Amino acid sequence: MTPAKVYDEGAFTVDKGEWGYQSFDRDGNKIILSLEEDQCVYWTRRWLKAQQDGEWPEGSGRVVNSGFVGGKL
């Protein structure tokens, strides 16, 4: 098993799992799940920065693309 990669002086880690790459905060809480490692790192950094700046309200959703398609087929 490969150990999780640590980013930004321990601000978060990224672990490869069965469904893709999962990032975790310092407390072990899940942040972002992505199929690509670089996208996981990018969006985790964006989310953490937004949290720090108060631009992403606490408790708001973190879904960037849910895969849901609306409308009639």
**pLDDT tens digit sequence for 6-17:** 888 889 999 998
Of 29, 48, 16, residue with least CA distance to 4: 16
pLDDT at site 55? 79
Report pLDDT for 12: 93
pLDDT, averaged across the chain = 82
pLDDT of the residue at 52: 86
With a cut of 80, say whether residue 57 has pLDDT above it: no
In the chain, where does DSSP find H-type helix? 37-53
Rounded Cα distance between 67 and 63, Å, is 10
Cα separation, 55 vs 60, in Å, equals 11
